[in-house]
Amino acid sequence: MSSRDKGKKTSELSPILLRKGIQGIAGEVKSVKPMRSGVLLVEVYRRQQAVNLMGTSSFAGLNVENDSEADILEYFQHVENIHVSEVRRIRSRRNGQTINTNTFILTFGGPQLPQTVTIGYQRYGVSAYIPNPLRCRNCQKYGHHEDRCGRNTVCEHCGREGHTDNDQCNIVGKRCINCQGNHAASSRDCPAWKKEREVLRVKYTENISFPEARRIVESKDSTNPTFATIVKKSSAGTVSVKDATIQAFEDQSA
């Protein structure tokens, strides 16, 4: 099955709409596989199903808009053995605009993550979601939100009290309040940010508490360098912390 519309591939249709469309024409089929060429290979149980599918001329005209969080959550309500309580699309900022990505964060109801999930006829890989460290926009320290901060205001850029970057900081030179390095407190090159990120990675991949994860990160021996060593090396730009993968599925056709 292929699309006659220029610039549109049948394999790029929404997996949920794709399933609904095929079921509406032929009922439950054996399998649907997207091919590299962009066409769909549909394997059926009965000859009449193939006749029905081959006789359709409007299937490729299905709405190709992305599924919403609500659509995906509703779909999982009818899937056995997998309980999904929340679906959230990851969005990014590009050129001042918010862009929808094809990656979603799923919250599962069980203690173990499934390795894959199937939506429609397509299978997607699942891995643990590692959030970014929470940094207070008031004092610039990690671990709490500015709404709950009782400390003095500190500038993100110069690390001094009494003003914020919104006040158009005019102090020459940057200084991070967390590591004293020559960068803003918001920099992802900051050793403190990398340490907090590693604590979160250990917590969520090992399914342990924050204090336990922090003890593990801070107690690594010399054969597996501690973050004290990494902090020193990172100032030369030679060490980075690999971004963790996301507890989500990503549209393979995108």
Mean predicted confidence (pLDDT) in 33-59: 77
| pLDDT-derived band at 18, boundaries 50, 70, 90 | confident
- pLDDT tens by residue, 240-252: 333 333 344 444 3
- What percent of the chain stands above pLDDT 70? 76
Mean predicted confidence (pLDDT) in 7-11: 64
Greater confidence (195 vs 3) lies with: 195
- What percent of the chain stands above pLDDT 90? 31
Which residue shows structure tokens 């079921």? 23
Q: What is the pLDDT of residue 190?
A: 96
| pLDDT-wise least confident of 5-9, 148-152, 188-192 | 5-9
104 close to 87: Cβ distance less than 8 angstroms? yes
Which residue shows structure tokens 């996301």? 246
pTM of the model: 0.58
| pLDDT-wise least confident of 51-55, 93-97, 178-182, 221-225 | 221-225
119 close to 16: Cβ distance less than 8 angstroms? yes
Mean of the per-residue pLDDT values of the chain: 78
- Would you kindly state where each structural domain of the chain is located, as residue ranges? 10-61, 69-126
- pLDDT tens by residue, 112-132: 889 999 887 778 889 888 989
Q: What is the pLDDT of residue 9?
A: 65
Greater confidence (64 vs 25) lies with: 25
Highest mean pLDDT among 4-8, 37-41, 161-165, 243-247: 161-165
Q: What is the pLDDT of residue 58?
A: 61
Mean predicted confidence (pLDDT) in 92-99: 82
- pLDDT tens by residue, 141-168: 999 999 999 999 999 999 999 888 777 7
Euclidean distance between CA atoms 192 and 178, whole angstroms: 6
| pLDDT-derived band at 32, boundaries 50, 70, 90 | confident
Greater confidence (67 vs 178) lies with: 178
Per-residue burial over 51-87, b if 16 or more Cβ lie within 10 Å, else e, is ebbeeeeebbebebeebeeeebbebbeeeeeeebeeb
